[in-house]
């Protein structure tokens, strides 16, 4: 038995899962002739290495058992409990929609299912990534066709997903493994071109290392680690495409990484470096104060170093370094350790903190598009690109694509806020509606009731949601006199409580009921709130259910409803 398994007791679910996996894969072999269990063990070891819980490691061991042998999901549930079975089920489902049949034409439908599955439980995605990593590492034994297809999926789906989850190292590894199969000519060109340059840079960094260390020591700074960090091939190639293939313009081909104990020391090291060697203007990036959208933190600076050579420094703490590499997995482990006793069953994403909002958003997005291709378009535009994070005055984090404006922000909060928007403040100062939001801005929207959006906004808004709503609202203008529809009007009187309206609104959103209007007013003493909701008509039974749900919400005093003809 492999060593790392021995740290778990023989009757633990991990060891028992291992026994079952051995039996299930007894007669199976990988393409290179090795027993199949070696793959399963590799995936389990990687999962263990991420620091995930025992159920996850057991699920990793069992991830290929369901189809390949007589073992059923019920067997797994019986032997290892509901949670492990839930994870194994997720992994089995993911396998069914993979592999994508035609790499040039994305199978959007499969992709959609895939994404729904991932939002069920993040651990399933993490284990799946480890499975993919091991598959990529043993790709050499497959046919060229399979190699290309699997590499394409890895490059287009898994690596960006890992990046988005903040798993920097994994994302880079996956890209580097896929790159030679996808772009063999480019890969060989790159190898040939950078070999000398790369060697020269590493030698230079090794040469200046003692000097840097000495200077830091003189200032009472004792780094835990100073080492050369080479840029990965795949990302180097992408960067070269942007720099006319001119390798001399890539300053971070090999960077010097300095790891210290505290954040204060990071800035102290930066100060020492800048006082010693002049920095290149515009190259200093403080990703500690303003992390990248995927959570990456570090101080980056480029200076004219020893012998006047342009050199990049990356400065971070040990903890940050770990977070950068593990991303969401580190976050997950942290929360698990913090609250060991709390059950982690059924990851309800609606109840999850900000960090996981985007996963829930993904799940919502895919229900908002009729054509699979539309969904993919939007996925590419909105999901895989850089995003910014801004705050509401209540400090709620709103995640938007780069280049978004206050109008995009307003529509993200609520359609009515968007429609009635007449102005905006960023960090307490009035800004134009075209203002490009920046990460960290606190945005406040000024509204005027009954105001209608302007078609001019379409020229500068960024998000598809805003565009859709503006078109919708301006179209409504023309139809206004003609249309009169039956609507259901619900009136609620409640205590004036925080989050009450949000709870009510969520009730309608979750049931996908079309809201026409949503108005609320609080009396002068601020005790009671009157809310009037106008929505699409629905059957009595459904109305009764909703009324019942609303009555259950604490704070509800009175509720009534009627049907009314309403013109829009």
- Binding residues for Mn ion, rule: CB under 5 A, are 64, 131
Closest CA to 276 of 208, 226, 222: 208
The Cα-based distances of 67 to 42, 71, 344, 540 in angstroms read 19, 8, 27, 45
Least separation, in Å, of the C-beta of 234 and Mn ion? 23
Least separation, in Å, of the C-beta of 140 and Mn ion? 17
Least separation, in Å, of the C-beta of 95 and Mn ion? 8
**64: how many CB neighbours lie within 10 A of its CB?**
23
Based on CB atoms, which residue is closest to Mn ion, 48 or 64? 64
The Cα-based distances of 146 to 158, 175, 179 in angstroms read 16, 16, 14
Check residue 156 and report its DSSP letter. I
Cβ neighbours of residue 80 closer than 8 Å, sequence gap 6 or more: 13, 16, 17, 55, 58, 62
Based on CB atoms, which residue is closest to Mn ion, 64 or 265? 64
Q: In 107-183, where does DSSP find H-type helix?
A: 108-120, 122-137, 144-153, 159-164, 168-182
Check residue 381 and report its DSSP letter. I
Euclidean distance between CA atoms 333 and 52, whole angstroms? 6
Least separation, in Å, of the C-beta of 291 and Mn ion? 33
Least separation, in Å, of the C-beta of 220 and Mn ion? 51
Based on CB atoms, which residue is closest to Mn ion, 151 or 531? 151
Closest CA to 328 of 352, 348, 362, 311: 352
Based on CB atoms, which residue is closest to Mn ion, 64 or 312? 64
Euclidean distance between CA atoms 358 and 360, whole angstroms? 5
Based on CB atoms, which residue is closest to Mn ion, 135 or 566? 135
Least separation, in Å, of the C-beta of 130 and Mn ion? 9
Based on CB atoms, which residue is closest to Mn ion, 47 or 404? 47
Euclidean distance between CA atoms 432 and 428, whole angstroms? 13
Euclidean distance between CA atoms 520 and 451, whole angstroms? 17
Based on CB atoms, which residue is closest to Mn ion, 131 or 441? 131
Euclidean distance between CA atoms 376 and 383, whole angstroms? 10
Report the residue number whose CB is nearest to Mn ion: 131
Based on CB atoms, which residue is closest to Mn ion, 62 or 190? 62
Least separation, in Å, of the C-beta of 108 and Mn ion? 24
Task: Tell how far CA 557 is from the center of its chain.
Answer: 40
Least separation, in Å, of the C-beta of 64 and Mn ion? 5
Based on CB atoms, which residue is closest to Mn ion, 138 or 361? 138
Based on CB atoms, which residue is closest to Mn ion, 48 or 131? 131
Nearest-5° Cα angle at 440, 439 to 446: 100
Least separation, in Å, of the C-beta of 15 and Mn ion? 20
Euclidean distance between CA atoms 507 and 504, whole angstroms? 5
For 155, the token pair is: 């490059």
Based on CB atoms, which residue is closest to Mn ion, 94 or 106? 94
What is the rounded radius of gyration, in angstroms, for the C-alpha atoms of the chain?
A: 28
For 159, the token pair is: 């690596």
Euclidean distance between CA atoms 430 and 453, whole angstroms? 19
Least separation, in Å, of the C-beta of 154 and Mn ion? 14
Specify burial of residue 319 (Cβ count, 10 A radius: 0-12, 13-18, 19+).
middle
Find where tokens 């075209």 sit: 434
The packing angle between helices 122-137 and 37-50, to 10°, is: 130
Least separation, in Å, of the C-beta of 104 and Mn ion? 25
Least separation, in Å, of the C-beta of 162 and Mn ion? 17
Euclidean distance between CA atoms 321 and 315, whole angstroms? 9
Whether 498 and 451 have beta carbons less than 8 Å apart is answered as: no
Task: Tell how far CA 41 is from the center of its chain.
Answer: 27
Based on CB atoms, which residue is closest to Mn ion, 32 or 200? 32
């Amino acid at each position: 038995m492999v060593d790392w398994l021995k740290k778990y007791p023989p009757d633990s679910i991990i060891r028992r899962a291992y026994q079952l996996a051995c039996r299930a894969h007894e007669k199976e072999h990988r393409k290179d002739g090795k027993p199949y269990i070696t793959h399963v063990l590799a995936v389990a070891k990687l999962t263990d290495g991420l620091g995930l819980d025992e159920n996850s490691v057991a699920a990793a061991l069992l991830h290929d058992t369901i189809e390949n042998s007589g073992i059923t999901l019920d067997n797994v549930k019986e032997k290892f409990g509901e949670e492990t079975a839930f994870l194994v089920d997720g992994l089995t489902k993911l396998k069914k929609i993979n592999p994508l049949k035609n790499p040039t034409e994305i199978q959007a439908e499969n992709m959609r299912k895939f994404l729904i599955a991932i939002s069920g439980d993040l651990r399933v995605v993490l284990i799946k990534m480890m499975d993919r990593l091991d598959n990529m590492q043993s790709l050499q034994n497959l046919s060229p066709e399979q190699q290309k297809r699997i590499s394409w999926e890895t490059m287009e789906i898994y690596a960006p997903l890992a990046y988005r989850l903040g798993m920097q190292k994994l994302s880079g590894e996956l890209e580097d493994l896929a790159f030679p199969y996808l772009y063999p000519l480019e890969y060989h060109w790159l190898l040939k071109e950078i070999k000398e340059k790369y060697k020269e840079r590493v030698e230079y960094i090794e040469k200046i290392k003692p000097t840097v260390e000495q200077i830091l020591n003189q200032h009472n700074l004792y780094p835990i680690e100073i080492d050369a960090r080479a840029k990965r091939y795949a990302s180097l190639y992408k960067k070269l495409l942007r720099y006319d293939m001119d390798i001399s313009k890539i300053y971070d081909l090999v960077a010097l990484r300095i790891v210290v104990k505290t954040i204060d020391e990071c800035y102290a090291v930066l100060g020492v470096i800048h006082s010693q060697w002049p920095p290149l203007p515009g190259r200093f990036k403080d990703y500690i104060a303003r992390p990248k959208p995927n959570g990456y933190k570090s101080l980056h600076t480029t200076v004219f170093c020893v012998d006047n050579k342009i050199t990049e420094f990356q400065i971070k703490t040990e903890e940050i370094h770990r977070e950068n590499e593990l991303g969401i997995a580190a976050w997950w482990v942290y929360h698990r350790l913090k609250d060991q006793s709390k059950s982690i069953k059924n990851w309800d994403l609606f109840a999850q903190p900000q960090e996981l909002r985007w996963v829930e958003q993904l799940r919502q997005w895919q229900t908002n598009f009729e054509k699979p291709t539309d969904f993919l378009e939007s996925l590419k535009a909105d999901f895989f690109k850089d995003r910014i994070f801004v705050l509401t005055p209540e400090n709620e984090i709103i995640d938007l694509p780069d280049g978004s404006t206050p109008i995009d922000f307003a529509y993200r909060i609520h359609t009515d806020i968007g429609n009635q928007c007449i102005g905006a403040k960023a960090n307490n100062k009035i800004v134009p509606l075209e203002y490009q939001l920046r990460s960290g801005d606190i945005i406040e929207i000024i509204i005027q009731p009954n105001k209608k959006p302007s078609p001019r906004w379409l020229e500068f808004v960024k998000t598809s949601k805003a565009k859709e709503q503006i078109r919708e609202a301006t179209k409504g203008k023309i139809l206004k006199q003609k249309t009169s529809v039956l609507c259901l009007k619900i009136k609620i009187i409640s205590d004036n409580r925080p989050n009450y309206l949000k709870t009510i609104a969520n009730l309608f959103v979750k049931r996908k009921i079309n809201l026409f209007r949503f108005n609320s007013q609080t009396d002068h003493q601020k005790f009671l709130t009157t809310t009037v909701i106008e929505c699409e008509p629905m059957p009595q039974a459904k109305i009764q259910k909703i009324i019942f749900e609303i009555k259950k919400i604490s704070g509800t005093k009175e509720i009534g409803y009627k049907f009314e003809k309403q013109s829009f």
